[in-house]
Amino acid sequence: MDIPMGLVTWVVTGAAVGLVASLVWRPSGRADLARRVISAVIGAVVLGLVLRSFAGLGFAFFHTAGIRLFTWLNVIQALLGGLIALLIVRSTGSPASRKRYRDLAIGVGITILLVVIAEVGVRSYFFGRYSTFIGAYDYLDIFRYATSPTGYGDLVPNEHGVMPENFRPYRVHTNEAGFRNTEPLNDDPSARILALGDSMTFGYLVDDEDTWPAWLQTILRQRLERGDIEVLNAGIIGYTIEDELSYFREKGHRLAPDLVILGFYTNDISDLREAQREALRRPTAAVVQAPAEFQETTPGTRGDGDPNARPLLRGRALSFFNDHVALYRLIGQMRTQLLSNQRPDASRAQIDPIGTDVNYANPAAHRDFYERYEAFLRELILETKQAQSQLVIVAIPEWRQVPVDAYPDSPQQFVREIAQDTNTPYLDLLPVFRGAGEIDDLYLLAYDVTVQPDDSDPFFPEHTRYVGDWHLSRFGYRVAARGITEFLLAEGLIAR
C-alpha cells in the first residue's frame, strides 16, 4: 500500500511531540514513565490523524497563499499534539485528578457521540443527491482555483478533485501548466488552440471531458485522425474581455498558439460594470508578485468599502464546513429556505436585471460598456496578430435567445461588426443551437409548466418557468464544439 508522505509526517511529528511532553512532566518511577510516555504518544498520534483528516482547510489556505503545507500545518499540529499529550500525562496523576478528567472525558464523549449520530443521519438524507464517485477524490472549492502566478494557465496546477456545488458536483482536473486539461502540455503539437473565456469556456457544472474545449479536441482528433492536436482550456469563471486580454499579454502569448478562440458570452459586456470588476478582475502583475496582499479577502467578495467582504480565513472555514459537515449544510439550507419564503423562488434561473438592461432592453443607454468592450477586444486582436496567432471569436448564445422571436441577438451583432471591421473570423452559435434542440436540452434548465409567465417581460415572458442553472449542459457543450469544428474546417483555419 502506498502511504502518503504527508500522513507519515503528521504521525511522526505528533508522536515526537507527545514523547517530549511526557518526558518534561517529571514522572516518578520507570513504570510510571513508561505508562505516561505510551499514553502521551498514542494521544498525540491520534490527534495528528484527526487533524490530517481536516487538512483540506489548511491546504486550501496555505497552498493558495504560496506557503508550503509542511511549514505551517505541522507547527500547528505539533503544538496541539503537545497540548493533548500534557493533558493525558496530567490525567494519570492523583485519584482526584483522574476522576475530574474522567468525568470531563465522559461528557465530551457523549457530546461527540450525539453529534456523530446526527451527522450520520443527515448524511444519509443527503446521500441520494451526490454521485458515488465523489468519495474517490479530494473535495475542492473555488479557493483552490484562485489565480496562480505560475504556469501558462491561470489555474493552480496539478489539482484533481470535485467542485462541491450544491446540486451538481463536478470533477475538475488541472495539468502541470495550470489549464483545465487532463493531459500534460504537448511539447510539439501539430496544432495548438488556446481557448479563452469565462465560465462557459471553463465548463461550470460539467466534468473535464464535457467542456467545449475538451469536446473540440476530441472531435478534431477524430475528424483529422491526428492525436497530437491540442486544445488548452484557459477559461476562468467570472472573466470577461479585460481579463482575457490581461491573461494573453502575460501568459498566453508564450505558448505560441496557432489559433486563439475567444468564447464570447452576452454577459461579457454587462460584466464590465465596476462592481463586477472590483470583485472578479484578474489580478494585475503587481498583485501577482505579492500574492499575500491579494489574498486578504475571499475571492468574489473583495473590494474597498464592500460591507459583505469577509476575511479569507473565515471564508475558507465556512466553505470547508459546508463541503464536509452535513449538519452545517442542513442548517444552511434551512436558513436559505426561510429566506426564500420572503423573496421570489431562488431555484428559478437567475436573471441579472442590470445585465438584461445593458445587453437587451436598453443598450443605447449604456454605450460606455460597449465602448470599453470594443477597446479591449481591439487590443486583443492586435496582441494576437503580434504573437502571430489567429484569433477566432465564437459567440455562445444565452438561453433566453434560443427561442425564435425571444431575446434579440444585439450583443452578437455588436461583436460581429468589430470582427468584420478587423477581418477577424467570427462564428455565431445561435443558429446552430436553434437547430440542435430546446432550451432544456442545451442548458442545465428544466421547464416547469406550473409557474405563471412574467407578462412584464417584453421579449420572453416564459423565462420564469425555467428551473436550474443557465450554463450549458453536456449536450450543449458538445453542440458548441461540433459547430466550432465545422467552422474551423470550412474556413481553412486548421490544416486538414
Provide the CATH number for the domain around residue 408.
Answer: 3.40.50.1110
Q: Which residues pair with 390 in a beta bridge?
A: 259
Domain assignment of residue 336, yes or no: no
For 452-487, write each residue's pLDDT tens digit.
998 888 899 999 899 889 999 999 999 999 999 999
For residues 236 and 155, is the Cβ–Cβ distance under 8 A? yes
Q: Which residues does 189 contact at the CB level (< 8 Å), separation at least 6?
A: 228, 229, 230
| b/e code 339-350 from CB counts within 10 Å (16+ = b) | eeeeeeeeebbe
pLDDT the model gives residue 353: 79
| b/e code 181-194 from CB counts within 10 Å (16+ = b) | beeebeeebebbbb
* pLDDT of 198 over the 50 cut: yes
> Taking residues 94-101, what's their average pLDDT?
60
pLDDT the model gives residue 201: 97
* More confident site: 262 or 59: 262
The three cell numbers of residue 27 are: 514522572
Identify the band that residue 8 occupies on the pLDDT scale cut at 50, 70 and 90.
low
- Strands 191-196 and 229-233, by their bridges, are parallel
Tell whether 188 and 71 lie within a shared domain: no
Tell whether 81 and 208 lie within a shared domain: no
pLDDT the model gives residue 94: 57
Determine what percent of the chain is predicted with pLDDT higher than 70.
Answer: 60
pLDDT the model gives residue 361: 84
Tell whether 70 and 183 lie within a shared domain: no
Identify the band that residue 349 occupies on the pLDDT scale cut at 50, 70 and 90.
low
Domain assignment of residue 40, yes or no: yes
pLDDT the model gives residue 458: 87
Least confident of 114-118, 266-270, 332-336: 332-336
Cα 399 to Cα 438: distance, rounded to the nearest angstrom: 9
pLDDT the model gives residue 319: 52
From the list 92, 87, 118, 201, the residue with the least C-alpha distance to 471 is 201
Tell whether 77 and 198 lie within a shared domain: no
The three cell numbers of residue 18 are: 507527545
Tell whether 276 and 378 lie within a shared domain: yes
From the list 387, 382, 376, the residue with the least C-alpha distance to 422 is 382
Domain assignment of residue 278, yes or no: yes
Cα-Cα-Cα-Cα torsion 319, 322, 323, 328, nearest 10 degrees, comes to 150
Q: Highest-confidence range of 24-38, 124-138, 289-303, 397-411, by mean pLDDT?
A: 397-411
* pLDDT of 431 over the 90 cut: yes
Measured at the CA of 28, the angle between CA 27 and CA 30, to 5 degrees, comes to: 90
Determine what percent of the chain is predicted with pLDDT higher than 90.
Answer: 43
How many other C-beta atoms can be found within 10 angstroms of the C-beta atom of residue 491? 12
Q: Highest-confidence range of 97-101, 291-295, 461-465, by mean pLDDT?
A: 461-465
For 45-61, write each residue's pLDDT tens digit.
666 555 554 444 444 33
Cα 155 to Cα 239: distance, rounded to the nearest angstrom: 13
Given 41, 63, 93, which residue is the final one in a domain?
93
Dmax over Cα atoms in the chain, in whole Å?
Answer: 91
* More confident site: 158 or 213: 213
Phi, psi angle pair for 276, to nearest 5°: -70, -40
Cα 194 to Cα 184: distance, rounded to the nearest angstrom: 14
* pLDDT of 449 over the 60 cut: yes
Tell whether 380 and 248 lie within a shared domain: yes
pLDDT the model gives residue 360: 87
Given 93, 126, 144, which residue is the final one in a domain?
93
Domain assignment of residue 162, yes or no: no
> Taking residues 368-384, what's their average pLDDT?
97
Domain assignment of residue 322, yes or no: no
Domain assignment of residue 48, yes or no: yes
- Strands 138-139 and 160-163, by their bridges, are parallel
For residues 282 and 243, is the Cβ–Cβ distance under 8 A? yes
Cα 360 to Cα 356: distance, rounded to the nearest angstrom: 5
For 138-171, write each residue's pLDDT tens digit.
445 444 555 677 789 998 888 877 776 656 778 8
> Taking residues 423-429, what's their average pLDDT?
98
Tell whether 45 and 184 lie within a shared domain: no
* pLDDT of 421 over the 70 cut: yes
Helix (H), strand (E) at residue 444: strand 443-447
Least confident of 61-70, 180-189, 401-410: 61-70
> Taking residues 124-128, what's their average pLDDT?
57
The mean of the pLDDT values for the chain is 76
Tell whether 84 and 188 lie within a shared domain: no
pLDDT the model gives residue 291: 34
The three cell numbers of residue 31 are: 513504570
pLDDT the model gives residue 85: 61
Domain assignment of residue 446, yes or no: yes
* pLDDT of 131 over the 50 cut: no
pLDDT the model gives residue 67: 37
Tell whether 240 and 353 lie within a shared domain: yes
For residues 464 and 348, is the Cβ–Cβ distance under 8 A? yes
Identify the band that residue 292 occupies on the pLDDT scale cut at 50, 70 and 90.
very low
From the list 128, 153, 144, the residue with the least C-alpha distance to 62 is 144
For 214-233, write each residue's pLDDT tens digit.
999 999 999 999 999 999 99
Q: Which residues does 386 contact at the CB level (< 8 Å), separation at least 6?
A: 253
Given 39, 59, 93, which residue is the final one in a domain?
93
Tell whether 85 and 193 lie within a shared domain: no
Q: Which residues pair with 138 in a beta bridge?
A: 161
Tell whether 209 and 356 lie within a shared domain: yes
Cα 4 to Cα 9: distance, rounded to the nearest angstrom: 9
* pLDDT of 411 over the 90 cut: yes
Cα 8 to Cα 14: distance, rounded to the nearest angstrom: 10
Number of domains in the chain: 2
Domain assignment of residue 452, yes or no: yes
For cell 477566432, the residue is: 392
The three cell numbers of residue 362 are: 436598453
* More confident site: 247 or 156: 247
* pLDDT of 384 over the 70 cut: yes
pLDDT the model gives residue 490: 97
Axis-axis angle for helices 30-53, 55-64 (nearest 10): 60
The DSSP code for 255 is G
Cα 457 to Cα 460: distance, rounded to the nearest angstrom: 6
CA distances from 67 to 7, 59, 61, 64, 311 (A): 18, 9, 9, 8, 18
pLDDT the model gives residue 311: 39
Cα 226 to Cα 496: distance, rounded to the nearest angstrom: 9
Whether this model's pTM surpasses 0.75: no
Cα 35 to Cα 91: distance, rounded to the nearest angstrom: 12
- Strands 160-163 and 170-173, by their bridges, are antiparallel
Q: Which domain holds residue 209?
A: 174-288+349-490
